[in-house]
Structure formats: C-alpha cells, structure tokens
Amino acid sequence: MTKIEWTSSAVRDVKSLRDYIAQDSEWYADRFAERVIQAVENLAAYPLMGRKVPEADEDAIREIFFRRYRIMYRVETPRILVLMVIHGGRDLTQINPKPWEIL
C-alpha cells in the first residue's frame, strides 16, 4: 500500500476550512475535516484514481474532489504527497508558486 504524506500547507488548508465551518457548527466542521482525510486515505489503495490537474500538465500531479474542493496531490512512488486543498472556484493561475512547484 502507498504511504500518504501531507505538506504543511495542505494541513493548514484543512485546518483553515475546519475553523471557518466551526464558526457555524463544530460538529459539521469536524465531520468535514474527517471526510476530507478519508477521501485522501482512499488514495493509498488507488493512487491514480484522481484526474490529472489540467493547469499542471504533469502526469504525477493529480486531484480528487470532495464537495466543492479540489484535493491536489503528487504521486511519488512509494508515496502520495498531498499538496493543497482549495475551493474549486479559485483560479490556480493566480497562485504563485503553484502547489506542485513546492517540494
């Protein structure tokens, strides 16, 4: 099985989303974070299940979706590196450096 690692920025993304949702409901915030983590954990068995990130133009940079969020990751055998969790409406062309450019 493939090992999953999270970048510090991806961890911050999930924590920030959790904190934002917690302003209305701690229960929903915890549930949201748990479900994001579960979606990522599914990648351990199926690392190529996500689509290639169109903006990256690299086969190893992939993403899965959870609700309206893009969970981007890099396939680096024998690990998966989670790069970012971002709202699907955000324009990645405006983010520098790109999530896949950070090691």
Give me the pLDDT at residue 101, please. Answer: 78
Q: In the CATH scheme, what architecture does the domain 3-98 have?
A: 2-Layer Sandwich (3.30)
* Predicted confidence band of residue 93 (pLDDT cuts 50, 70, 90): confident
Could you tell me how far CA 2 lies from the centroid of its own chain? Answer: 16
Encode pLDDT of 16-66 as tens digits. 999 999 999 999 999 999 999 999 999 999 999 999 999 888 899 999 999
Domain-wise residue ranges, the chain: 3-98
Rounded to the nearest 5 degrees, what angle is found at the Cα of 103, between the Cα atoms of 71 and 38?
30
| β-pairing verdict for 61-66 and 69-76 | antiparallel
- Secondary structure string (H, E, C) spanning 32-47: HHHHHHHHHHHHHCCC
